[in-house]
Amino acid sequence: MKSMHSLDDIDRRILSELQADAGISNGDLAERVGSSTASVWRRIKAMEASGLLRQSVRLLDQHTLGYGVNVLCNIRVRSHARDVRNAFETFVGERPEILECFSMSGDWDYLLRIVAADVSGYERFLMHTLLEHPSVGGASSHFALSLTKYTTALPL
């Protein structure tokens, strides 16, 4: 995989443009970064092969889809045994309302970002699904009041 220091200026410009618009044509991308279409195509293929570029996605507007609530939920598991952690992480992977999961240091074991239509929808998920999972020992929920910054673009 290419490291940050092995990326040249054109690679960085390609990545910057793709982070802004993954659907851009190779021709338009080549024009924006000052390279040929064939060169851009080869560079993209090389970055895909190295694992630097992963899948292309379209970002959806959660509010338009009816998900008005963002919750950051700290989780404490009942045990740190591998099978318990694996069971919890498998459960998380299967739940579409859990958008992100971080294994954490400190007092809590995991931090989840969860979306719900409203507070009562989150409460149902928390009480009847999340806290019912045998690996979960406790949870602490924090409701986001507003979104100040959101980006998927990494600094280049």
Look up the CATH number of the domain holding residue 43: 1.10.10.10
Per-residue pLDDT reduced to its tens digit, 24-72: 999 999 999 999 999 999 999 999 999 999 999 999 999 999 999 999 9
Look up the CATH number of the domain holding residue 118: 3.30.70.920
Domain coverage including residue 76: 69-143
- Strand arrangement, sheet containing 69-77: 98-103, 110-116, 69-77, 136-143
Task: Tally the domains of the chain.
Answer: 2
DSSP calls for 98-154? EEEEEE-SSS-SEEEEEEESSHHHHHHHIIIIITTSTTEEEEEEEE----S----PP
Please state, for a pLDDT cut of 90, what percent of the chain lies above it. 96
- Do 90 and 129 share a domain, yes or no? yes
Q: What average pLDDT does the structure give for the chain? A: 96
Residue 20 lies in a domain: yes
- Do 77 and 137 share a domain, yes or no? yes
Residue 61 lies in a domain: no
Give pTM, 2 decimals: 0.88
Residue 4 lies in a domain: no
